[in-house]
Amino acid sequence: MFSVQSFTERQREMIVGPIEDFRKELWKRFEEIGRDKWPRSVLRLMREQKLQKVKELRELCERGSLEDRSSRKDGEENY
């Protein structure tokens, strides 16, 4: 069953207004970080560092080293 409701302009502003404001803020921030450039950069970094999981990337960032991965425990696998 399909229902259509009509709203007054004030009701619409109260309901849809905050959602529109939030959408605009998200879009602004998305533009600030370079749109879809950062996911490609992260994927490239993971590929270069031979990382398979986001958890591994997080651990690498926490260690603060992208070059030296020798701190990996002996016998620890990269999967």
Q: Let me know if residue 74 belongs to a domain.
A: no
The predicted model scores a pTM of: 0.40
Q: Let me know if residue 32 belongs to a domain.
A: yes
Total tally of structural domains belonging to the chain? 1
Q: Let me know if residue 3 belongs to a domain.
A: no
Q: Let me know if residue 78 belongs to a domain.
A: no
27 residue type, one letter: W
Q: Let me know if residue 22 belongs to a domain.
A: yes
Question: How far, in Å, CA of 45 to CA of 49, rounded?
Answer: 6
**What digits encode the pLDDT tens for the residues 7-66?**
788 888 888 889 999 999 989 988 887 777 878 888 998 999 899 998 998 888 888 865
Measured CA distances, 31 to 14, 34, 67 (Å): 27, 5, 30
Name the burial class of residue 51, with classes exposed (0-12), middle (13-18) and buried (19+) by CB atoms within 10 angstroms of its CB. buried
Domain that holds residue 53: 9-63
